[in-house]
Amino acid sequence: MQNIVRDGHIHSPYCPHGTSDSFGQYIARALEIGLNEISFTEHLPLPVGFIDDEIREFCSPSASTIAAYLEELEQVKQYYQQRIKINAGFEVDYLEGFEGFTKELLNRYGPRTQDSILSIHFLKVKNQYYCLDATPAMFRELVELLGGVEQVYDAYYQTMLKSIRVDLGRYKPRRIGHPTLVRIFNSIFPFEYKNTALLEQIMLELKARSYEIDFNTAGLRKPYCQELYPSGIFFDLAKRYQIKMVLGSDAHTAQDVGRSFAAELLSGHDKVYDRAIKIPEEKV
């Protein structure tokens, strides 16, 4: 029996759609459940003007708060260094067409980070950006715009393929966030994606770069999803291609740190974790 010791995807008091729980509260919870390594991956600010201001300000902290986030985290890291390993990082949005903007932020702040995630929350369709995971109504808009649920999956995975191949400089994250997020409203828009050719291309590109996947438990908490990211065919392929998976709670509240990790171990996903998590020598 292994112990899960790492949560690789945690938000912070700087997240505008999260809670005001302090770093101390997140860390207290991590210690309480026995983790010995955590990564704070706050959303990297989004470019002004690429989408409605209100949505943008809800999705990510403003650029002016990055410095405060990193500074506070550096103090916190030092304060807890004897008790838990804390990584600083970002959940970076891959925004097709804004690669220069993203690369510039990563070049500026990357040297102060140790562990980051690259996620897709926005799809570019006909020169506009649409948020994939905000509301069922917005998802429906995408479905109508693209002509079907299958087309939304196609667009999502094509964007993911680009995100893996794109050059975002030396600080580009090496882990893909919640890689089946397109299924967040799955019970309203039920669909089994079968385009294995595209998914296998993704696996090959991940493998070639030794990229990891965020094995994210947040979907279990979403009312219209209730499954892990990744699940289904994507999960099966990732296993077959032996893509390294790192557990992430995607916690936006201290109580959610490490959420559902134990349950997932018991449900038989542990074979994946074997390669993904660090297991203390004495416990093996």
The site for Zn ion (CB under 5 A) is made up of 119
Rounded least distance, CB 15 to Zn ion, Å: 5
Task: Give burial (CB, 10 Å; 0-12/13-18/19+) of 233.
Answer: middle
For residue 54 the two structure tokens come to 């209100």
Backbone angles phi, psi at 152, to 5 degrees: -70, -45
Rounded least distance, CB 119 to Zn ion, Å: 4
Within 141-208, strands assigned E span: 175-176
Taking CB atoms, the residue at the shortest distance from Zn ion is 119
Rounded least distance, CB 250 to Zn ion, Å: 6
Between 41 and 243, whose beta carbon lies closer to Zn ion? 41
Cβ neighbours of 40 (radius 10 Å): 29
Q: Which of 157, 99, 95 is nearest to 128 (CA)?
A: 95
Rounded least distance, CB 241 to Zn ion, Å: 23
Between 70 and 78, whose beta carbon lies closer to Zn ion? 70
What are the distances in angstroms from CA 172 to CA 1, 107, 130, 175? Answer: 34, 9, 23, 9
Between 27 and 92, whose beta carbon lies closer to Zn ion? 92
Between 2 and 22, whose beta carbon lies closer to Zn ion? 22
Between 162 and 278, whose beta carbon lies closer to Zn ion? 162
Rounded least distance, CB 170 to Zn ion, Å: 23
Distance CA 209, CA 203 (A): 10
Between 119 and 186, whose beta carbon lies closer to Zn ion? 119
Distance CA 158, CA 198 (A): 8
Rounded least distance, CB 156 to Zn ion, Å: 13
